[in-house]
Structure 1
Amino acid sequence: MGAPVASVHEHITDALKTPDLVRLGGNVVLARFETMKVYAALGAVRTLLRSGRVVPGQTLIDSSSGIYALALAMACHRYGLRCHIVASTTVDAVMRAQLEVLGATVDQMPPSQNLRLDQERRVRRVRELLADRPDFHWMRQYHDSVHYAGYREFADLVTGTLPDTPLTVVGAVGTGASTGGLVQALRETGRGVRLVGIQPFGSVTFGSEHFSDPEAIIAGIGSSIPFENVRHELYDTVHWVDFRHAMAGAVGLMQEHAIFAGLSTGAAHLVASWEADRDPERLHLVLGADTGHRYAERVFARHTEAQDMRTLRPRPIQALDDLRPPWSVMEWGRRPDPATVRPDRRPDTDTAEPVSSVEVTP
């Protein structure tokens, strides 16, 4: 037998962007990322450089609570760009140290009474910086469709690796770029792909803003402001999951498969398990956006509190008026966004991370 074949990468981003594909069951496969945002950041930066919208040496700026910040800093490191991050108060010392060593400059917000106030402060700071430095390029990860570009490469990986059977993609909605970018590229090949999106209670994206989930800390799967990068018409089914259910999924994934992953991955694992039981003929691909390290204390250290995910079931609903915690599911049917965005709520006036129930810190 020959020696295993390994790739020698030109930059760490090439190694980090590629997920490990792990079978969780007969018809469920997990795409386990260290940080899935590397696809978005690399694809966006390359596209901007090729089009001339940015040039080497220019400063890219965005607001972040951690994962996108690190991905953007690594992309800037690779392509000779400067990086400035307006960081959430939730960014920890480990993340900040990584950003600074990579050469990024960091404005971190002071402690806040709540994450909405943290978001408002970051919005103001980004605007101040852009007013003083018009040469900065604002990445607008929530609103600029350039962040879809990198996920075409992920779609090529899925096409080349997984069998050509009917496919269901299960993942957190967040900015919309990861699930939307992957599924849009897959559908363009003619493949039959269903998209199952996951939302927290408290997010405006799919109409749960009138709920709150005090324990929720799952960053990046919902938002308190509208995101232009969320294309509602791509989604077939939507699940709303609270913190306790996401925790059950994350702890269950570790117990059953020895995979240490974040809360959005835990929510996706829970949802995919239920979806796969209902539709055993389809292959289900679970998007595992990041590792579980930033949830070590608030989730995994409390593993004895976690419910057995095998006992949990969602509440099927027919309309948003029927939405109830802790877990609801609705056939969305690829309908457009039902909300009419008022002029004073235009997404391009906001720059900050999502402030919502599940992952406020993809």
Structure 2
Amino acid sequence: MIHPHIADALKVPDLVRLTDGLVLIRFESMKIYSALAAVRRLLERGTVRPGQTLVDSSSGIYAYALALACHRYGMRCHIVASTTVDATTRAQLEVLGATVEQVRPSRNLKLDQELRVRRVREILADRPDCHWMRQYHDDVHYLGYHEVADRITAAFPGRPLALVGGVGSGASTGGIVERLRATDPSVRLVGVQPFGSVTFGSQDHHDPEAIIAGIGSSIVFDNVRHDLYDALHWIDFTHAMAGAVALLREHAVFAGLSTGAGYLAAMHEARRHPDRLHLVIGADTGHRYVERVFARHAEALNPAVLKPVEISGAGELAMPWSTMAWRRTPCPAEWKERAA
């Protein structure tokens, strides 16, 4: 197939069998699916017009995806970038034509996200012609992942499935499983969270080592549909690092921290549910984690000896790794009130 634009080629994931019960959905950059479909639908609706400026905040993956989508569809792009966006990503964004401003370094995830959202609102007040993509809140970002689900269905017809991935904005895991369950309601969804994320109640637990970009949040995301998830895993930096290094060492897959965390969770889930094929989302490559993760590979823990604490409620959360049966429960009302 000859693709009309590089974004159409980069978005397609590879399915890589890691074990008999575990397959990696390996993306070059996962959110390209989301951004392409969202921009296309907004243009079709007339919500935005060609040449208009699209703005959003990002910790890196979505920024790159939106810049590619804008390049693909003739839009302008403005990114309010997290402190986690590295120089390599920023340079690509700028060459692609995006304007980028990076918020000042922050003590934690909450302050970083609050600064970015505040800045986006300031931009919209000054430039009302800009359109805020609202990747965390507009369900238009679910659409692109339906294509991923169709690819999975075609590859594994009739297999009992479980999907494992970082929760983040909710759109990737939610969009894929929503489509899969249209034909098989039994598909399990296992979400992965970092400690410190408000989404599933771990905001009082501080991981001193790092922010695992893209899979947690300090603010409520409307795109997270809690009642889609069957189980949750909370994983700290050291365990995510162990998973990422093991994935490279054992399977030659160079992927980011969220993939490492998902790999660790998926191995545990596959042992507990050997009747299912577990699909773990590999959202991006490991390039932005070279210094902080892969250069320290000698420090990485051995995943074979790691296991989570089984808990029955968020009040029992314990670092470095906890897991809980969520059973497709809606978000507790008190969580929303406390976050507000």
On whether the aligned pair clears a TM of 0.5, the verdict is: yes
1:72-103 CA distances to partner (integer Å, 9 max, x unpaired)?
00000000111111112332221111111111
Query: Please, which of 140, 145, 161 is the counterpart of residue 151 of structure 1?
Result: 145
Q: Report what 1:68 is aligned to.
A: 62
Distance 1:256 1:217 in 2: 25
1:124 aligns with 2:118: yes
1:203 aligns with 2:200: no
1:334 aligns with 2:328: yes
Q: Report what 1:352 is aligned to.
A: none
Q: Report what 2:90 is aligned to.
A: 96
Q: Which amino acid aligns with 2:160?
A: P
Distance 1:58 1:107 in 2: 18
Q: Report what 2:166 is aligned to.
A: 172
Q: TM-score if structure 2 supplies the norm length?
A: 0.97
Summarize the Cα distance change of 1:111–1:242 in structure 2 as closer, same or farther, 3 Å threshold. Answer: closer
Distance 1:316 1:268 in 2: 17
Summarize the Cα distance change of 1:120–1:191 in structure 2 as closer, same or farther, 3 Å threshold. Answer: closer
Compute the displacement of 1:43 (Å). Answer: 1.3
Distance 1:230 1:342 in 2: 12
Query: Please, which of 19, 23, 36 is the counterpart of residue 17 of structure 2?
Result: 23
Summarize the Cα distance change of 1:186–1:28 in structure 2 as closer, same or farther, 3 Å threshold. Answer: same
Compute the displacement of 1:155 (Å). Answer: 0.8
Compute the displacement of 1:65 (Å). Answer: 1.9
Distance 1:203 1:255 in 2: 29
Identify which range, 33-42 or 104-113, moves more after superposition.
104-113
Q: Report what 2:282 is aligned to.
A: 288
Q: Report what 1:228 is aligned to.
A: 222
What RMSD in Å do the two structures reach over aligned CA positions? 1.5
Q: Report what 2:30 is aligned to.
A: 36
Q: Report what 1:298 is aligned to.
A: 292
Q: Which runs of 5+ in 2 are unaligned?
A: none
Distance 1:75 1:303 in 2: 35
Q: Report what 1:135 is aligned to.
A: 129
Query: Please, which of 186, 190, 212 is the counterpart of residue 192 of structure 1?
Result: 186
Aligned runs of 1:246-261 on 2, under 5 Å?
246-261=240-255
Summarize the Cα distance change of 1:281–1:149 in structure 2 as closer, same or farther, 3 Å threshold. Answer: same
Summarize the Cα distance change of 1:220–1:146 in structure 2 as closer, same or farther, 3 Å threshold. Answer: same
Distance 1:32 1:102 in 2: 24
Compute the displacement of 1:195 (Å). Answer: 0.2
Compute the displacement of 1:113 (Å). Answer: 4.2
Query: Please, which of 74, 78, 82 is the counterpart of residue 72 of structure 2?
Result: 78
Compute the displacement of 1:323 (Å). Answer: 1.2
1:216 aligns with 2:210: yes
Compute the displacement of 1:217 (Å). Answer: 2.8
Q: Report what 1:262 is aligned to.
A: 256
Contact 1:239–1:329 (8 Å) recurs in 2: yes
Q: Report what 1:350 is aligned to.
A: none
Name the SS of the counterpart of 1:219 in structure 2.
Answer: coil
Q: Report what 1:87 is aligned to.
A: 81
1:110 aligns with 2:104: yes
Distance 1:271 1:50 in 2: 39
Query: Please, which of 292, 310, 317 is the counterpart of residue 323 of structure 1?
Result: 317
Name the SS of the counterpart of 2:169 in structure 1.
Answer: coil
Compute the displacement of 1:123 (Å). Answer: 2.3
Compute the displacement of 1:345 (Å). Answer: 5.3
Contact 2:162–2:276 (8 Å) recurs in 1: yes
1:312-349 CA distances to partner (integer Å, 9 max, x unpaired)?
11111112221111111110000000143667955xxx
Q: Which amino acid aligns with 1:254?
A: L
Runs of 4+ in 1 over 4 A off after TM superposition: 341-346
Q: Report what 1:57 is aligned to.
A: 51
Contact 1:166–1:191 (8 Å) recurs in 2: no
Aligned length: 340
Distance 2:166 2:262 in 1: 7
Distance 2:266 2:108 in 1: 31
Contact 2:220–2:339 (8 Å) recurs in 1: yes
Q: Which amino acid aligns with 1:337?
A: C
Distance 2:332 2:151 in 1: 33
Name the SS of the counterpart of 1:188 in structure 2.
Answer: coil
Name the SS of the counterpart of 2:322 in structure 1.
Answer: strand
Name the SS of the counterpart of 2:114 in structure 1.
Answer: helix
Compute the displacement of 1:163 (Å). Answer: 3.3
Summarize the Cα distance change of 1:21–1:218 in structure 2 as closer, same or farther, 3 Å threshold. Answer: same
Highest relative contact order (Cα 8 Å, sep 6+), 1 or 2?
A: 1
Q: Which amino acid aligns with 1:108?
A: Q
Distance 1:141 1:45 in 2: 11
Contact 2:109–2:218 (8 Å) recurs in 1: no
Compute the displacement of 1:125 (Å). Answer: 1.8
